[in-house]
Amino acid sequence: MPFVNLRINEELLTPEKEKELLSTLTEAVVSVYGDDFRRHTWAVVEPVSPERWSVAGRSLTSWEEGS
């Protein structure tokens, strides 16, 4: 059974976007493996606060602030 996990900045996520992402992630798996996989595909969208992200050892918020 495919399991797709997407972590995303919570500031970019609305209930509508989350629903769209879940549907699109499932469709991506189905496009590769066929429709028989639809009912076996699990997808999770995990919102993460910007303070918990880091890039190159720097928090996302520090990149946004330019420090």
Give ∠ CA 40-41-47 in degrees, rounded to 5: 145
Q: Express each pLDDT in 10-64 by its tens digit.
A: 999 999 999 999 999 999 999 999 999 999 999 999 999 988 888 888 887 776 6
28 by Cβ neighbours in 10 Å (0-12 / 13-18 / 19+) ranks as: middle
Domain range list for the chain:
3-65
- The CATH superfamily label for domain 3-65 reads Macrophage Migration Inhibitory Factor (3.30.429.10)
pTM of the model: 0.79
Q: What is the pLDDT of residue 67?
A: 59
